[in-house]
Amino acid sequence: MKAGVVVFPGSNCDSDVYSVLKELGADVKYIWHGEDKIDVDLLVLPGGFSYGDYLRCGAIARFSKILEGIYDYVENGGYVIGICNGFQILTELKLLPGALLKNMDLKFICSDCILEVSNDNTFFSRLYKKGERVNFPIAHGEGNYYADDETLKELERNNQIVFRYVNNPNGSRNDIAGIINKKGNVLGMMPHPERRASSLLGGTDGIRLFKGMIESFK
């Protein structure tokens, strides 16, 4: 599998995701935000503070040159995962519905977080079991997922909710921690699986997400 990790000014989890994919055998490279060609099987929008989170999280990054072709890329079956700031960028691009608001207590939260797998039948979650609980850390100030009632009903009806918070830390509606698009090739999630991909990091719950994606191409 060929993977590309986009680097924006302010990215700080790009090397983490790169290292995990590299160690698992993926053909992975960094892609500078100013490049104009997406020539990989999997595009990763990593966590961080793209463009300093000016205006609002992801609002400037969505206009980066590398993302100009992302709509065609997704339409043609390319896979995208956006983690934390990457999820925020995906909602700004309207590739995923809803928005990420300030946490309900208006504070930045950095802690372990227990999630429940709501959909194990996706390209991203195929090595988990529905109902399984996993620990992916969170680190965000604006991770409070919001969507209107009709959108939430549609997400539930289409089984687009992949991960939910067990003890909702930020006020997200329907305990949503991660969702996919209707086509199933775009995932956005606030928690960080790359920070639970090694026992040296405190656990390995996150490594199966990356293994599952890579094994899909074998």
pLDDT in tens, 30-73: 999 999 999 999 999 999 999 999 889 999 999 999 999 999 99
What total number of domains does the chain contain? 1
Q: Which of 57, 92, 140, 192 is catalytic?
A: 192
Q: Is 57 a catalytic residue?
A: no
Sheet holding 133-135, edge to edge: 27-32, 2-7, 42-45, 79-83, 186-189, 176-180, 161-165, 114-117, 133-135
Structural domain including 34 reads 2-215
Tell me how far apart the alpha carbons of residues 130 and 127 are, in angstroms, rounded to a whole number.
10
CB 61 within 8 A of CB 92: yes
From residue 216, alpha-carbon distances to 79, 123, 131 in Å are 11, 7, 22
Residue 217 predicted with pLDDT over 90: no
Tell me how far apart the alpha carbons of residues 74 and 95 are, in angstroms, rounded to a whole number.
9
Tell me how far apart the alpha carbons of residues 198 and 206 are, in angstroms, rounded to a whole number.
8
Alpha helices in the chain (DSSP H): 14-23, 70-75, 85-92, 149-157, 207-215
Span 162-192, pLDDT tens digits? 999 999 999 999 999 999 999 999 999 999 9
Q: Which of 13, 113, 140, 194 is catalytic?
A: 194
Per the structure block, which two tokens stand in for 164? Answer: 């939910």
pLDDT above 70 covers what percent of the chain? 100
Per the structure block, which two tokens stand in for 8? Answer: 């924006």
Q: Could you tell me where the beta strands, DSSP code E, fall in 127-210? A: 133-135, 138-140, 144-146, 161-165, 176-180, 186-189
Q: Which of 13, 57, 84, 113 is catalytic?
A: 84
Query: What's the mean pLDDT in 5-16?
Result: 97
Span 84-114, pLDDT tens digits? 999 999 999 999 999 999 999 999 999 999 9
Q: Is 194 a catalytic residue?
A: yes
Tell me how far apart the alpha carbons of residues 21 and 1 are, in angstroms, rounded to a whole number.
10
Report the CATH number that the domain containing residue 38 is assigned in CATH: 3.40.50.880
Tell me how far apart the alpha carbons of residues 121 and 104 are, in angstroms, rounded to a whole number.
31
Per the structure block, which two tokens stand in for 121? Answer: 């039948």
